[in-house]
Amino acid sequence: MRKSFTRQVLSVMLVTLMLTLTALAGTTGTIEADSLRLRKKPSLKSRVIDLVPNGETVLVTGRTPTVNKDGSWHKVTYKNKNGYMSADYLSLSGESSEGGIIQANVRTRLNLRTKPSTDASIVTVLPKGKSVEVVNEKKGGWSEVKSSKLSGYVKSEFLVLPNDSSNTQKKPLPATGKYGIVSASRVNLRAKASTGSRILEVLSINTVVDIEKITEKGWYSVSVNGTDGFIHPDYLTATDEKPKAPEKKREKASATAEAIIETASKKLGAPYVYGSGGPNSFDCSGFTSWVFRQHGISLPRNSGSQYRLSGKSVKKPDLKTGDLVFFKNTSKGVINHVGIYLGGNKFIHAGSGSNGGRKVKISSLSEGSYTARYVGAKRVV
């Protein structure tokens, strides 16, 4: 009797297993892996806050990742948004000058691996849009798949299945209007309707733009100051009535700050020489320390120390003439450049780049390179 009952149980289990495999076999998934999801919580079911393009830099705000059934997660900050990202796709790049904050680069080329583990060897790299057959789903956020004659495991988060609700339900289009008001302090005007597209300008809060249309992806196609581009709907408020741009209060620079700018301007055209601290040639921190020293103010010799040890921090919209502005190295993420703010989004500095020559020159904070590398500002006077 017991043997007969056992045989029945085994038969039911076998049939169930066969039905499960039959249901999975033939199911297709599409690779979606040129960006990494920033989620509200460390869970694959948590709301997606933003999509971070491959190669972008984020700040990891904790050294110890959160580990759960959905994998390993780092708590990060990206564009002033706090959330969680899969630790499997972040390359940590050391400690920054912010103290305890680590920078990381997003890498989202999707690897097909021999086992459901990031330590397993890579069979091949699957491009975005590649169709694969989903054979089975594993714990820890992995799926067993087949692609052409190859088989292996991929992270389930980057598969879009035909019956996936995120694939079938379209996000409602944003509100329409003739004009738009920028609703955040630093908003990117991009060349295309994508977070990975080239940044044309960085717009400040309350900037008024003309709305041309809304794209299929839900982005606003806009025109501002003669430049056409695209703005993400989360950062723009649409209206049919043209708003009046608020007048910005301009604080008058102190007499010391004006004198510092005058001294700095007298060195325009002086050659850039690495390691030189004046008075006839300069590197970036040599220039700022020499200028301020002429007015009885002592600054550390290198840009990183000036950022850590000098003055008080200033937000970009609050910049005043005479403030020190700092920039980072895009590959290593460390502060490696400094200049003196002039007002009107301009700054004077000893630049080593080809744009404008290797000399003391005036540049704009809106230039692509400086916009991407901008770290912050310090007020000394």
Report pLDDT for 93: 57
Paired with 182 in beta bridges are 236
- The amino acid occupying position 337 is H
Q: How many helices (H) and strands (E) does the chain have?
A: 6, 28
8 Cβ contact list (under 8 Å, min separation 6) = none
Instruction: Check: CB of residue 340 under 8 Å from CB of residue 327.
Output: no
Report pLDDT for 299: 93
Question: Whole-angstrom Cα distance, residue 56 to residue 50?
Answer: 12
Count how many Cα atoms sit within 13 Å of the Cα of residue 9 in the half-sphere of its side chain. 6
Give the pLDDT means over successive 10-residue stretches in the chain (381 positions).
47 42 44 69 83 75 74 81 81 48 54 81 75 74 81 78 48 75 82 83 85 87 89 86 60 79 92 91 95 94 89 90 91 87 90 81 84 91 85
Question: Whole-angstrom Cα distance, residue 176 to residue 324?
Answer: 41
Report pLDDT for 85: 85
Instruction: Check: CB of residue 153 under 8 Å from CB of residue 145.
Output: yes
Question: Whole-angstrom Cα distance, residue 125 to residue 33?
Answer: 11
| Maximum distance among all Cα pairs of the chain, rounded to whole angstroms | 103
Is 74 assigned a catalytic role? no
Q: Of 74, 232, 295, 337, which one is the catalytic site residue?
A: 337
Name the pTM for this structure: 0.39
Question: Whole-angstrom Cα distance, residue 85 to residue 89?
Answer: 8
Report pLDDT for 324: 96
Other CB atoms within 10 Å distance of the CB of residue 342: 20
- What are the C-alpha distances in Å from 321 to residues 10, 173, 291, 348, 372? 80, 42, 14, 11, 21
Report pLDDT for 338: 95
Is 337 assigned a catalytic role? yes
The radius of gyration computed from the CA coordinates of the chain, to the nearest angstrom, equals: 27
